[in-house]
Each structure stands twice: as C-alpha cells, then as structure tokens.
Amino acid sequence: MNIAYDNVVFSLQKVGGISNYWYQLSKRLQNSIDHSVSFYGFKDENLFRKELKLKSLTKSKLPLQLFRYLPLTTKLPSRSIFHSSYYRVCLQRDVVNITTVYDFVYEYYSNRLAPSKLAHSFQKQFSLNHSQGIICISESTKKDLLHFYPHIDPELVKVIYLGADEKFTPLENKQSYLSLISPSLKPLQYILYVGSRKPYKNFSKAVEVIALNTDLILVVIGGKEFSSQEKKLFSSFENRILHFTETNSYDLNIFYNNAFCLLYPSVYEGFGIPPLEAIKAGCPVVSSNASSIPEVVGDAGLLVADITVDALVDKVNMLRNESVRKSIIDRGIRQSEKFSWDRCFDQTIEFYEETYRRSLRTLG
C-alpha cells in the first residue's frame, strides 16, 4: 500500500499537540517496512520535525498562507492513501483521502464572521466531504463532528486516541533532576500550567488559584510571552509566576514529577495531551469535567463541573492529604496505560487498510 503524508502542520506550528501527533505517526511510518511511504512538506521550523530525517517532496512558490488551503497537486501513485496533517486533500480520482479531526475550537469559540474562521470552516468541510475515512481523536470530538456535520456517515468515522511519549514516567531522586533545570524550584511547591492561554483555557482562573494559595507558585510551560493584560493579573505577586516558553519532553517530565499538580481549567479540548502526560509521570491533575478530559483522565483526575476558582481551590487542597494524593497518583498511572503512541499508530494503519478495502470498488 502506498501512503502519502502531508506535513503541512509542521509549517503551521513551531510546537503543539497536532505537530506532536503528526511527528509520532511519521516517526513510526518512516520505519515501516510494510508500506511505500512518501512525505510532502513545506519549509518549517517545527521542533518535532527537526527530530525526523525526512525528504519533503513538495515544491511550491506559493506563500504558505495560500498553499495551506489548497489541495495537493502532485501526482501520486495510483491507489495511494493520502493523509494530511491539517485538512488538505488530494483530488486525484484514484487516491483514498484520510482526514484527522482534532477539535471544534473555531466553531465554538471564534467570531462567527472572522476571516480565519470562515477559511478554516470552508477547508474543514471541503476536506471532510472529500474523505473516504475520518479519524477523531476522542469520542467527544466525534460527537462534535456529527453535530456540526450531520451529513457525515458515522460508518466512515473512527475514534483513535492519542498517546503520551514514553519519556513521561515517574522518576527516582526527582528533586535532583529539578535542581539542574531550575535551581529556584522545590518539589511540591509549584503548580503547573501547560499549553496555550487562549480564553477558553481559563488561564486567569489558574492565576486566581495561585493568589489564594500563597505557599505555592505557578510554573507556566509553553505559550507566547505574557501580554501586558496577563501581567496585570499577577502584578501584585509576579515573583510567584515563572514562565518557560519552550521546553523539551525530558525537562517537562521533570516538571511534572516535582509539581504539586497540573492545573488544567480548560473548558474545551479535542483530546488534551498535557493531562495524559501528567498522570503518566505521576502528577495529579485538577481539571474540568468537560469535553474529552474525562475520557483521558478517567477516575484519576480531580474534575470540577463548574469551573470556578473556589471549586478549583477545593480540589487543589484535597491533594494536601497524603493518602488522597497517593491514591490519585496510583490511579493516574494505571489510567495512562490505556493510551500509547504505538497503539495510536497501529490503529491508524488498521484504519487505512480498512478504508482502502472499502474504497477499492470506487477507485479508478
């Protein structure tokens, strides 16, 4: 089976959950001896892409802002599988298209008439309408898909969960590792916030939780530099906020291992990789009982139905009880075993084969 991968997401993100997903699939696919594989990409500075030794076959003089929305025009071998990392398709009649749907953030939280939303919605709908197989990364995302696109045949849709890198694991002598990457931090004296700080992520509530827990500081991993508006949120205690804009998986595992907890008050996630990484590393998670998060953390998370500061503080304080803390950590490690990138990859290949067989009769 010929498989063509469209690596456009590596050009759209320097780092992020989707490029991590695409890196994990690509890394395994390039080592596969069972399939003929080709990769199509554009110039990028993606941190995950730098770990892959791939030859990108796409050559285009078009700017990325336009190229990203256009179908693949390169001629593929007949009866190939084409899987795009971000909603592109191949219109070649004898090619099977696979699309992965990550979330519906644009549909729920973007301005209805914003140009970026209109362009994204058009591209997503075009991709879905021209795909013979659709992957959703959680049951919650599948539910949203069928809500926003009720004409989609559920038989074409497969839920395939993401994973967490094997680097995320409990460490012995974890304090010694922490002192090497951040000498000022002490174990169990900081709360972690990982990822972007878009409005639906509720970063401001994480700051308020820290304001009420004066014995803890907030360590923020990822995202852009703090805006002036964000700085105003913690202007009176800025010495208790640390920000690392970039970190590798090795260091992030150290942060998870030594954290009091991961605070993840997001109201919406297509999957939510940070909570999975955290529980895999033995870090308790305080989060919302919303969208896909309960699927990921199961009974190992301390989840709030209403994302209020008081509710989050109550959950954080539960972890001050050692027996509760140990129980949550043990449950988290067991829960994390349900997810792996190897399983994600194997199920993805199985779905390619299933979709390919189903589509054979319609291929030219």
For residues 317 and 179, state if they share a domain: yes
Which domain, by its residues, includes 290?
174-336
pTM of the model: 0.94
Q: Is residue 87 part of a domain?
A: yes
Residues 247 and 152 in one domain: no
Does 50 share its domain with 144?
yes
138 with 261, same domain: the answer is no
Q: Is residue 278 part of a domain?
A: yes
Do 347 and 236 reside in the same domain of the chain? no
Number of separate domains in the chain: 2
Do 234 and 357 fall into the same domain? no
* Residue 130 confidence class, pLDDT cut points 50, 70, 90: very high
What CATH number did the domain enclosing 178 receive?
A: 3.40.50.2000
Same domain, 185 and 320: yes
Do 135 and 192 share a domain, yes or no? no
Which of 178 and 57 is assigned the larger pLDDT?
A: 178
Whether 122 has a pLDDT exceeding 80, the answer reads: yes
Digit-coded pLDDT (tens) for 92-114: 999 999 999 999 999 999 877 77
71 and 143 part of one domain = yes
Looking at the domain assignment, is residue 350 inside a domain?
yes
More confident residue, 96 or 60: 96
Q: Are residue 266 and residue 194 in the same domain, yes or no?
A: yes
For residues 32 and 54, membership in a common domain is answered with yes
Determine, yes or no, domain membership for 169. Answer: no
Confidence of residue 318 (pLDDT cuts 50, 70, 90): very high
Q: Is residue 168 part of a domain?
A: no
Whether 68 and 152 map to the same domain: the answer is yes
143: how many CB neighbours lie within 10 A of its CB? 15
The per-residue pLDDT for range 274-296, each reduced to its tens digit, is 999 999 999 999 999 999 999 99
What Rg value do the Cα atoms of the chain yield, rounded?
A: 21
How confident is the model over 68-78, as pLDDT tens digits?
Answer: 999 998 899 99
